[in-house]
Structure formats: C-alpha cells, structure tokens
Amino acid sequence: MSQEIRVSNPRALEHPIIWIGVIGGTLGSIVLLDRIAWLALPLILAVVFYYLVHPFLIRLQHWGIAPQHALTIFLVLASLLCVVASLTVLPAMLNSVSQFQTNLPETMQRLSQIASEFLKNIEARFPLAKKAGLAEGLQARIDFFAQGKGTQFAGDAALFAFKWLPSLLLVPFLTFFFLRDGTAFHQLILRAVPNAFFEKTLLLFDRMDRQMHGYFKGMFWLTVLDTITLGLGLWILGLGQGIFSFQNAMLLGLVCAVFAWVPYVGTAVGGLIAICVCALHSPHNPQLLFSVVLLFCGVRLLDEFLYTPATVGRALHMHPLVTVMMIFAGGMLGGVYGLLLAMPLLGIFTVLGQMFGEIWFDPRLRARHTARNLLEKRLASNDLDL
C-alpha cells in the first residue's frame, strides 16, 4: 500500500524552467507594476489592507456577528478613525511637512558642511584617502545631490501629493470590495480550473493566501516592534543632547522601520538618515553618532534573531545572495517600487512555481486532463459521422 502513495513532488522547484520562471515572473511583474504604478499602488495597498483587516472581521464573525454586519461595523469604525485623524494628526503632519520643505535647502547646506568637515578629518588622519581624492569625490557628489535632487524634491513634493491623491482615494474603495466579495471572487477563479488540477490549485491558493496573510501581518508587527525599539533608543540617546522630543524620536523610528522593509539595504539607509539627523543637531559629538550606529547594529541583530523569526518568519528560505541580487535588480527595474516589492513578489512566485511544478510535472494529472478533453470531444461528436 505504501508504495502506491503518490506524494507531491517536493523537488519541483529545482527544475531550471521553474527557477527561470520564478525569477522572470518576479522581475516582469516589477516592470509591469512600475508601468501601471498609478493603478498598481492602490491595488497593492488595498491587498495589504485586506490582509490586515480580514482577521478583525473574522474575529467579529467569531462573536456571532453576520459577515455583512461585521463589514458595516468596521466601515463605521474606520470612518470615525479617519475623521478623528483628519482633525487631530493631519494638521500637525501638514505643518511638519511644510516646515521641512521650507528648511530643506538650509538643512542640505549644513549637512554638506558637516560631511565636508568629516571627510577632511579623515584625510588628515589617513594620507592614503587624500591621495585617492576621497573628500573631493564624495563632496562633489553630496553637493550635486544637495543642489540638484534635494531642492528638486522640495518643489516636487506638493505636485507628487496631488498626482497620487486620486489614486490613493481608490484604496478604501478597492479594500471594501475585496472584503465584501473576496470569497465569491475566489470561487469564480477556481471555477475556471479543470477538474484534474482542481484540488492542487486550491491547495496553491490556500498556501498563497496563508503566505501573504502571514507576510503582511508579520511585516505590520515587525514595523511596530522596530519603531518602538528604534524610537525609544533614539529618544534615550538624545536625552542629554535635547535632540529629540519623544514624538520626533518615534516618528524617526517609524521612518527607519519602514525603510527596513527592504532587507539588508533598508536598515543601512534608515541608519544613515538617523545619523544625518543627529549630525545636524549635534555636529561635534562623535560619541552620539557612534551610539546611533551601535543602536542600528543592535536593532539589526534583534531583527535577525528575535523579531523576524517571531513575526514574519523565515518562510522564503532564500539565500542572502539571491535576496540581495533580487532587491538590486528590482530597484534597477522598478525604482522604489522594485526595492519594496522584490521580496514579497519573489515569495509569491516561488509558491506559484513550486505548485505549477507539482501540477505540470505530475504525468497522472495531465493524463486525466487529456482524458477529460477526449471525453468532451467524443460527447460533442457523438451524433456526427466522422
């Protein structure tokens, strides 16, 4: 009996066609999403919100509330939250953004000065760096960014917000329909799957659904944990210097935690931002900068060994080299989109590839599908003299 058990093919992913398909599919999707970014962004955000809100609706249903009523309760609560946020948080945020825009040229100039001093110090200590023209080269790049991109950013920020506002207004609309008709849509897609592949495809949908649910939920909690750790750390480090208020430290923590969504590269960028902020406020305090670096290294270790295994997990089982290569390739093809979406898309395509391999390389399932087609043909031509 045991010899007759046909297990699914766990080595399906090792087939080169599948591997090429997984990588090609991931990169192709990044390019496509970048091209239709105006529609893709609200769609992706709606999917993220769907996975974050769905457990809440399930909890309400668990308490005996009908699905439609659970959705109504959620809509009322979300609307109330939006009204409260727009009355309290939004004005403060807009004020901060406008202040930031006004101060940006000055900030960039100060940052450039600090960098220049720092590089000159390095050259004074290490003659080899002077020979290589380290200060000159880096200074030219920093000046280029400060004068070019930095000021350009200030002017474009308002335009950027206006460009994306209509697109972002689609998010609650799409999320509502995903939540209301998600199950019916799921059934509609599965109806198109041939009988022979039906069970396996359903298994694929279930795995993908669980993976995406786990990923988004995990990322949410990882961001919360990173924000709290970094925010508290920065607040404590800046206590003696009077750099951060508690709110500002938490905001900077949140920004760095969002950057940390991009594996490996994101933490470094987040750390650089925090160092720049500290350098601006306390330029002659290398101990503080060193402490910030240590804080980010510590949070990275916490992420690696404690937070990530406890939240997102290590479901992808990707080699770090493949991960970094995919992130950079994603960044090259799709900019910020590519950086952020490379890993989730790679995860989805890995599961798709694995399941496709299991279905496609199963000769029995293909034979059953062919048999069904033959039966259908025979039935259609039953009364014809062929």
What is the Cα–Cα distance from 366 to 376, expressed in whole angstroms?
A: 15
206 binds another protein (CB under 8 A): yes
User: What is the rounded CA–CA span in Å between residue 350 and residue 337?
Assistant: 19
- Regarding 304 and contact with another protein (CB under 8 A), the answer is no
Using an 8 Å Cβ cutoff, are 250 and 323 in contact? no
The answer to whether 69 contacts another protein (rule: CB under 8 A) is no
The sign of the dihedral angle between the CA atoms of 34, 39, 45, 50 is: negative
Q: Choose the binding region for another protein from 25-33, 76-84, 201-209, 217-225 (rule: CB under 8 A).
A: 201-209
Q: Does 381 bind another protein (CB under 8 A)?
A: no
Asked if 195 interacts with another protein (CB under 8 A), we say yes
Cβ neighbors of 362 (< 8 A, separation 6 or more) are 8, 9, 200
> Is residue 187 near another protein by the rule CB under 8 A?
yes
Which residues have a Cβ under 8 Å from the Cβ of 235 and sit 6 or more positions away? 244, 246, 249, 250
CA distances (Å), 56 to each of 36, 59, 198, 264, 357, in order? 31, 5, 30, 32, 35
- Under rule CB under 8 A, residue 67 binds another protein: yes
Q: Which is nearer to another protein, 187 or 287 (CB)?
A: 187
CB-nearer residue toward another protein: 202 or 325: 202
Q: Binding string, 334-373, against another protein, x = CB under 8 A?
A: ------------------------------x---x--xx-
Q: Is 243 left (phi over 0), alpha (psi -120 to 50) or beta?
A: alpha
CA 308 – CA 117 distance, rounded (Å): 38
202 binds another protein (CB under 8 A): yes
- Which residue, 261, 264, 291, is CA-closest to 275? 291
Among 41, 73, 203, 329, binds another protein (CB under 8 A): 203
> What is d(CA 296, CA 117) in angstroms, rounded to the nearest whole number?
24
CB of 170 to another protein, least distance (A): 26
Number of residues lying near another protein (CB under 8 A)? 28
Q: Is 68 in the site for another protein (CB under 8 A)?
A: no
Shortest spacing between CB 210 and another protein, in angstroms: 8
Binding residues (CB under 8 A) for another protein: these are: 4-8, 58, 61-62, 67, 183-184, 187, 190-191, 195-196, 198-199, 202-203, 206, 364, 368, 371-372, 375-376, 379
